[in-house]
Amino acid sequence: MSPPLLGVEEEVQSSVSSPSVECISENGMGLKERNYLGLSDCSSVDSSGVSSNLNLATELRLGLPGSQSPERETEFCLLNLGKLDEKPLFPLLPSKDGICSSSQKNVVTGNKRGFSDTMDGFSEVKGYVYTEKSWMFHEAGSDSESPQSVGHGKYPGNSGVNVILSTRSPGVQASVKQDEPANVLQEQPRATNGTSLKQTVISNNTTGAPAAKAQVVGWPPIRPFRTKTLAASSKNNDEVDGKPGPGALFVKVIMDGAPYLRKVDLRTYSTYQELSSALEKMFSCFTLGQCGSHGTAGKEILSESRLKDLLHGSEYVVTYKDKDGDWMLVGDVPWEMFIETCKRLKIMKSSNAIGLAPRAVEKSKANNKKEFGYGC
């Protein structure tokens, strides 16, 4: 299941402290949706201006519903470029093993609290919306078509709280937007404390589904039995596939320093070359400047150790964990043998690979070391 995006936020941007500043997106009203799920729309790694900023394909937005800056708009257009049937180069889906699997735990409670605080605030706000018609939706939406009725601008406080996290440098307007909305958001809960029987939305989300994802309780309307079974089935299928045999052979790929893992299906490649290209593509955002220099189509593959060479220019080596639990350098054995024994892949910094491939280490030291940044 998709992991909570606030986890990424906490990991990547310490400037965002309060969990209650979640961007609640406007829906309808001609305003663009700020959908945390929208991060997956971004196939825009190939869009030049944005790619370097969307390494994690997440964007922290702290605006109020409907509030947006022109810059956000452009960016969102870019995000929207990712049409459903295009195959993005990096389908940056928050997969089960994806974003912040490691940080999932520390996020849960904080997020819950934050979400329910905000929800409380917005639950009360709803009262304002429908009686006073003076809520921020109108003001914020001034640059779009005028709200037909309050209902259009309605944000029923319980619907999807959407968070888009950004790894953009803090200097960007995200921080400017932060202060104002944050304050407004925080005022509301305080003002309306204890005067309502309205429960916190999260109160009885007792299913296995990760509550920390800023979900609305009971939405989408699917029986917990179904979600649990599907989750268990998916897990089993992956595990089943981890053994050599028919079907896909998915193994996790870890890259040193990357905030999330990926998975590759080893059966979709037949040579180390293919695997190497795929890994490059997957992780190029973490190794800026390295793409293009490898993946040399047409060049003959001299040996299985080509992979080593290819990635060594970038200070990284690819290693794998075999059946016995040992970490080995990729490329030493024939491909067929490799996929039968490989359980996991790890892209390590050459400096950490001492002992695995001393040659590689020397080689990379000899190269100009470049700056690597992910999340700028």
Partner 1 sequence: MNYFPDEVVEHVFDFITSHKDRNSVSLVCKSWYKIERYSRQRVFIGNCYSITPQRLIARFPGLKSLTLKGKPHFADFNLVPHDWGGFVDPWIKALAKSRIGLEELRLKRMVVSDDSLELLSKSFPNFKSLVLVSCEGFTTDGVAAIAANCRFLRELDLQENEVEDHRGHWLSCFPESCTSLVSLNFACLKGEINLASLERLVARSPNLKSLRLNRMVPLDTLQKLLMRAPQLVDLGIGSYVDDPSSEVFSKLKTVIQLCNSIRSLSGFLEVAPCCMSAIYPICENLTFLNLSYAPGLQGNDLTKLVQHCRKLQRLWILDCIGDKGLGVVASTCKELQELRVFPSDPFDAGNAAVTEEGLVLISSGCPKLNSLLYFCHQMTNAALITVAKNCTNFIRFRLCILDPVKADPVTNQPLDEGFGAIVRSNKSLKRLSLSGLLTDQVFLYIGMYAKKLEMLSIAFAGDSNKGMLYVLNGCKKLRKLEIRDCPFGDVALLEDMGKYETMRSLWMSSCEVTLGACKILAKKMPSLNLEIINESEQLEFSLDDRLLVDKMYLYRTLVGHRKDKPEYVLLL
**CA–CA distance, 286 with 284 (Å, rounded to integer):** 5
Of the candidates 49, 208, 247, 334, which one interacts with partner 1 according to CB under 8 A? 247
Does the footprint of partner 1 cover residue 155 (CB under 8 A)?
Answer: yes
Q: Is 208 in the site for partner 1 (CB under 8 A)?
A: no
- How many residues sit in the footprint of partner 1 (CB under 8 A)? 77
Looking at the Cβ atoms of 260 and 316, the one nearer to partner 1 is 260
Contact between 33 and partner 1 per CB under 8 A: yes
Query: In this chain, which stretch among 120-128, 168-176, 307-315, 368-376 interacts with partner 1, using CB under 8 A?
Result: 120-128
Query: ∠ CA 179-181-182 to the nearest 5 degrees?
Result: 65
Q: Can you tell me which of 227, 305, 341, 352 binds partner 1, judged by CB under 8 A?
A: 227
- Between 141 and 375, whose beta carbon lies closer to partner 1? 141
The binder of partner 1 chosen from 17, 173, 229, 270 (CB under 8 A): 229
Among 171, 246, 325, 355, binds partner 1 (CB under 8 A): 246
Mark the segment that binds partner 1 (CB under 8 A) among 122-130, 176-184, 285-293, 354-362.
Answer: 122-130
Q: Which of residues 166-205 bind partner 1 (CB under 8 A)?
A: 194-201, 203-205
Site for partner 1 in 35-74 (CB under 8 A): 35, 37-41
Q: Which of 245, 289, 334, 358 binds partner 1 (CB under 8 A)?
A: 245
Shortest Å, Cβ 142 to partner 1: 16
Min. distance of Cβ 330 from partner 1 in angstroms? Answer: 26
